[in-house]
């Protein structure tokens, strides 16, 4: 297979922007790219309303106790494997419900990344590890917020449902600027003071916002616009979110859904994520913490995996039944896997050399397992894929040709994914 990028240095005598402007029939990107796309292509992709659910398993889920079990081997651990709906494909017995939706999943078992520390691995994985160009690249959610913009709902394009505190996380956006940061819902709760006080009428609120917009325009004169744009953007998104405060109203949630997803924290957050997707949020990230099982790995996963299994399988079932998998890309992953060797604390340490992730939805080949590890699960036995390959794959699944589309960083063209890597074709539809 030829994995060379589609353009060569000679192509830049005619800039990629000029080329893309002429290539109205190519599927190359989304509405947020502005001048990088022809208007027809931008509008077409915007109309498709592609969305992303990014499930981040913070700390490192063990591939042995999940997607790539190796029972009855030196490093396999005490758990059995079970048959999935895909003949010959087995998951850990800790994932009985997820095993029933394997026909809708795309699993990569041949990840080989570099960083085995959280401080390096978390940002590297979520930024896609592009070549060092002296700038801080955005997290994937910020990239999608920039490249695709909000959905037609007008709701914030990038929200983050997480345990702990919330607020606006501008750091995710990197060089794109604070406008493309994430709006975090700490503990799945709405931002403070979301609802308009009863003493303020809707007409008064409109008047105040018109005054704010006027003041912003005056302030922006003869000043760099990036921070002012971000401030205005956050206010505009907040006003739209105020109109959908029902998303956080637990009284409107079907108790049967709570039972299916689980009353635990991860289940509640995943159920809120589904409601956010249904309401029209472009990119929803859900965090689950506590997976760094250096000690007592097996009891740790015995506790953690059933919650993940319950909520993740429910999400895949619901998105499938609602026809939403046609437009939603689901990604579930950590910053690395866990070691084959069991340490002195009956735990598994960090292992980026051979691990797995799971995906589902738009642009992917369902019921597919890509790659494999050796018999002991210690190393990848087939072609190795780094996180840059995954970014290319995700962009292509969403209809963005990452080998052509670029960021424009104040006149500096920058690739949106690692330019020495390529999409995993076996995973794509």
* Cα-to-chain-centroid distance, residue 292: 20
Question: Rounded to whole angstroms, how far apart are CA atoms 423 and 79?
Answer: 33
Question: Rounded to whole angstroms, how far apart are CA atoms 425 and 143?
Answer: 22
228 membership: H or E segment, kind and range: helix 225-242
- How do residues 269-325 score in pLDDT, each as one tens digit? 999 999 999 999 999 999 999 999 999 999 999 999 999 999 999 999 999 999 999
CATH number of 9-192+244-427: 3.40.720.10
pLDDT for the residue 23 = 37
- How do residues 2-37 score in pLDDT, each as one tens digit? 443 333 333 333 333 333 333 333 344 333 443 344
Q: Where are the domains of the chain?
A: 9-192+244-427
Residue 65 · residue 79 · CB < 8 Å: yes
124-128 contact pairs (CB < 8 A, 24+)? 124/335, 124/387, 125/333, 125/334, 125/335, 125/336, 125/387, 126/56, 127/174, 128/387, 128/388, 128/390, 128/391, 128/417, 128/418
- How do residues 252-285 score in pLDDT, each as one tens digit? 999 999 999 999 999 999 999 999 999 999 999 9
329 membership: H or E segment, kind and range: strand 328-333
- How do residues 114-132 score in pLDDT, each as one tens digit? 899 999 999 999 999 888 8
Residue 106 · residue 364 · CB < 8 Å: yes
Residue 392 · residue 427 · CB < 8 Å: no
pTM listed for this prediction: 0.86
188-191 contact pairs (CB < 8 A, 24+)? 188/161, 188/248, 188/265, 188/268, 188/269, 188/272, 189/248, 190/241, 190/245, 190/247, 190/248, 191/166, 191/167, 191/238, 191/241
What sign does the CA torsion over 184, 186, 187, 191 have?
negative
């Amino acid at each position: 297979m030829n994995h060379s990028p589609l353009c060569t240095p000679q192509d830049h005598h005619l800039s990629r922007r000029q080329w893309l402007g002429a290539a109205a029939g190519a599927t190359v990107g989304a509405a947020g790219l502005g001048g990088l796309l022809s208007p027809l292509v931008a509008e077409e992709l915007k109309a498709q309303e592609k969305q992303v659910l990014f499930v981040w398993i913070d700390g490192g889920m063990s591939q042995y106790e999940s997607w790539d079990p190796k029972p009855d081997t030196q490093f396999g651990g005490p758990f059995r494997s079970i048959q999935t709906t895909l003949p010959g494909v087995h998951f850990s017995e800790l994932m009985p419900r997820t095993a029933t939706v394997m026909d809708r999943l795309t699993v990569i078992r041949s990840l080989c990344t570099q960083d085995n520390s959280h401080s390096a691995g978390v940002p590297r994985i979520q930024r896609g590890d592009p070549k060092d160009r002296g700038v801080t690249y955005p997290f994937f959610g910020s990239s999608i917020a920039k490249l695709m913009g909000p959905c037609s709902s007008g709701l914030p394009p990038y929200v983050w449902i997480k345990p702990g505190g919330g607020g606006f996380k501008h750091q995710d956006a990197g060089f794109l600027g604070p406008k493309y940061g994430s709006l975090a819902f700490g503990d799945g709760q709405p931002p403070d003071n979301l609802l308009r006080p009863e003493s303020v009428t809707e007409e008064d609120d409109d008047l105040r916002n018109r005054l704010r917009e006027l003041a912003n325009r005056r302030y922006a004169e003869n000043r760099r616009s990036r921070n002012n744009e971000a401030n205005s953007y956050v206010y505009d998104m907040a006003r739209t979110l105020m109109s959908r405060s029902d998303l956080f109203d637990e009284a409107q949630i079907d108790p049967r859904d709570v039972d299916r997803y689980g009353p635990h924290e991860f289940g509640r957050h995943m159920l809120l994520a589904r409601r956010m997707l249904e309401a029209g949020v472009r990119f929803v990230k859900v965090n689950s913490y506590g997976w760094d099982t250096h000690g007592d790995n097996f009891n740790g996963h015995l506790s953690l995996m059933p919650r993940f299994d319950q909520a993740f399988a429910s999400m895949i079932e619901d998105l499938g039944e609602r026809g939403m998998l046609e437009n939603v890309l689901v990604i579930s992953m950590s910053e690395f896997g866990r070691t084959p060797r069991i340490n002195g604390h009956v735990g598994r340490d960090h292992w980026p050399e051979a691990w797995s992730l799971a995906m589902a939805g738009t642009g992917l080949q369902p019921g597919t397992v890509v790659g494999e590890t050796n018999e002991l699960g210690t190393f990848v036995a087939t072609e190795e894929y780094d996180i840059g390959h995954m970014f290319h794959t995700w962009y292509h699944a969403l209809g963005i040709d990452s080998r052509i589309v670029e960021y424009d960083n104040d006149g500096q063209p920058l690739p949106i994914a690692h330019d020495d890597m390529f999409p995993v074709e076996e995973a794509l539809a």
